[in-house]
Amino acid sequence: MAGFDQLVGEFLNEEFEESPVGASGLGLTEYDDRIDDLSADAFGRRQTRAAEWGRRFADLPDADLDHEERIDRDLAVAMMAGRSIMAEWMPWRRDPVAYSGPIANGLFGLFLHRLRPEVELVDAAVKRLGQASRVLEQGRANLDRRLAHPLILERGRDAARGTARYVREMLPTEAASERNRARLADAGAEAARALDEWAAHLDEMSRIATGSWQLGEERYTRLLREREALSYDARSLRDRGRAEYDRLSAEMRDLSRSAWGTDDWSAVLERSNEDHPATEEAMRQAYADWTVRARKFLAETGLITISQGESCDVLPSPPFQRPLLGVASYMSPPAFAPSLLGHFFVPFAPEGASAAEIQKRLAANSFGHIPTTTVHEAYPGHHWHLVVRKTRARRLRRVLGTPYFNEGWGLYAERLMRERGFFTEPIQELNHLKATLFRAARIVVDTSLHLGEMSYDEAVRFMVEKTATPEPTARAEVGRYCWWPTQASAYLTGCLEILRIRDRYLESRGLPAGSAATAPVAVLRGFHDSLAASGSLPLGLAERAVMGSGGAS
């Protein structure tokens, strides 16, 4: 429908203008030298426009759209509903990373993807560095100590310090020529001074802040239902998390008894955590080795179609990300650029971490644990899925999406690889089950935190005691749940929905539900390719994309 395509084009053009850092990250290089307007007026304008766009898309009748356009319409409606719900909570008055994040990401992405000649990248970076002071001044004006919580301000302070170090010390090394290094160094020094002042401001504000990070039951439930197209409310989702935790714990006891002669799987994992890489670089290399193994396994089995020309680099996590995330992460190739190179970041400790803390973090990345994280982040997890989305999904679906699909897919990838025999040692299987149980615990903790029924310290203790997670990692994790409401619940919730869709798909091919471990490879490949190509849709829409209009190919 020409009219629908025109509407999508109008929406995306406005989207890119409102978020030039996001547009640049998608590979639209004409936005490389700009950072978003983060003033109060701009946030108000975006809130108004999200509601207006939601209405415009919702008003499109089914009769005027084909099957795929209806899914696109409903995707836009769901994402605008999510933005409106979150806008009511005003995260831009609570979260300092809303201001340092675009600076860090807008610079890091330029040199990570290198879509232009170096001199043009440096020109763009210098212009972005020159806007850092403006962005941080907007943050000073917007943050409200009555809404912001000290924990979130402290995380923002640490992220700002990491960003200052990045622009002062590391960014200049991205340039090959002495002149370009000097330009980056000069502009970076000025931006770093502004970031240092911002960090000091946040440190001071954190001592007097009286706000909350609790999203609340109503908003949490609305996000599940309106943005994610799920049937749960926050409490029923928590009940499901508890049930899955109990089921997985029983399965882990059975495996532990069979392989090690004890029901105490936590003790088995604690002992296995002692077998970990000795250094952070050795950890990175171990992840890189398993990335190669996973890709080879998939190429040989044919469980997915691997895109020609894709590749995945395994790198240390960016310095500005380390205070925010204590686990691995992934950055996809830009949606609208030719590159098919993805980046798998392994969790290095933040600056200033003691040797003892680094060893505890390495224990959370033991040799038994590394294989399951690798398949989640790389093959057939985020890297494979997001390359397929980039190369096969419709234009709107390369821009809009949900972590409930993305993270659900990553956890499903772990499950698939266990089903099909990739994990060959009991400790690898136990770590996979532990990773899934960890996601069940995340549902319990995330919902309880935002319902106001669990404190930060109680949540840390829960994660340490119930998931055998080292305390430094648990603290980083819980801080992330407070900072990013509902995201922690995405993993297992999304995975369970994908498993349900897979059962429907198998039954539509005359196979029993639950038969994926023995199903013909061609059938599974068809499911995986079709689902990944649908984008990162709310799972109800993904089901329609795979099963609707005659089913998948």
- Cβ proximity of 215 and 158 under 8 Å: no
pLDDT at position 551 is 37
Nearest to 162 by CA among 93, 97, 91, 95: 97
Nearest to 342 by CA among 353, 331, 351, 352: 331
pLDDT at position 322 is 85
Distance CA 448, CA 455 (A): 8
Residue 120, both tokens: 């043009």
Tokens 């030298």 belong to 33
- Cβ proximity of 148 and 205 under 8 Å: yes
DSSP structure class, residue 291:
H
Per-domain residue ranges for the chain?
Answer: 2-206, 234-546
Q: 97-113 and 118-130 are packed helices; what angle lies between their axes, rounded to 10 degrees?
A: 170
The DSSP string of 171-239 is GGGG-SSHHHHHHHHHHHHHHHHHHHHHHHHHHHHHTT--------HHHHHHIIIIIS--S--HHHHHH
Tokens 């500005």 belong to 320
Nearest to 278 by CA among 387, 359, 183, 369: 359
Nearest to 339 by CA among 313, 314, 378, 309: 309
Nearest to 521 by CA among 298, 242, 237, 247: 298
Q: In degrees rounded to 5, what are phi and psi of residue 419?
A: -55, -35
Distances 280 to 286, 292, 394, 432 between C-alpha atoms, Å = 10, 19, 39, 22
- DSSP, collapsed to helix, strand or coil, labels residue 314 as strand
Strands lying side by side in the sheet with 311-316: 311-316, 341-346, 329-331
Side-chain-side CA neighbours of residue 80 (13 Å): 22
Nearest to 298 by CA among 411, 393, 383: 383
- DSSP, collapsed to helix, strand or coil, labels residue 369 as coil
pLDDT at position 327 is 84
Who's near 418: CB < 8 A, 6+ residues apart? 429, 432
Distance CA 212, CA 146 (A): 8
Distance CA 536, CA 401 (A): 5
Nearest to 311 by CA among 345, 346, 347, 343: 343
pLDDT at position 503 is 98
Nearest to 74 by CA among 58, 53, 61, 90: 58
- Cβ proximity of 129 and 190 under 8 Å: yes
DSSP structure class, residue 117:
-
Describe the chain by its helix, strand, coil percentages, rounded to 5.
70, 5, 30
Distances 58 to 68, 70, 75 between C-alpha atoms, Å = 15, 10, 10
pLDDT at position 2 is 63
Q: What is the pTM of this model?
A: 0.94
Who's near 82: CB < 8 A, 6+ residues apart? 223, 226, 227, 402
Local confidence pLDDT in tens for the 553 residues of the chain: 569 999 999 999 999 999 999 999 999 999 999 999 999 999 999 999 999 999 999 999 999 999 999 999 999 999 999 999 999 999 999 999 999 999 999 999 999 999 999 999 999 999 999 999 999 999 999 999 999 999 999 999 999 999 999 999 999 999 999 999 999 999 999 999 999 999 999 999 999 999 999 999 999 999 999 999 999 999 999 999 999 999 999 999 999 999 999 999 999 999 999 999 999 999 999 999 999 999 999 999 999 999 999 999 999 998 878 877 778 999 999 999 999 999 999 999 988 899 998 998 899 899 999 999 999 999 999 999 999 999 999 999 999 999 999 999 999 999 999 999 999 999 999 999 999 999 999 999 999 999 999 999 999 999 999 998 888 888 989 999 999 999 999 999 999 999 999 999 999 999 999 999 999 999 999 999 999 999 999 999 999 999 974 333 2
- DSSP, collapsed to helix, strand or coil, labels residue 422 as coil
pLDDT at position 553 is 27
pLDDT at position 1 is 57
Nearest to 76 by CA among 15, 31, 1, 16: 15
Tokens 């979260």 belong to 95
CA 405 to chain centre: 10
- Cβ proximity of 482 and 213 under 8 Å: yes
Write out the H or E segment, with its range, that includes residue 297. Answer: helix 280-301
Listed in sequence order, the DSSP H helices in 380-455 are: 382-392, 403-419, 426-451
- Written as one letter, the residue type at 256 is S
Write out the H or E segment, with its range, that includes residue 343. Answer: strand 341-346
Distance CA 442, CA 244 (A): 11
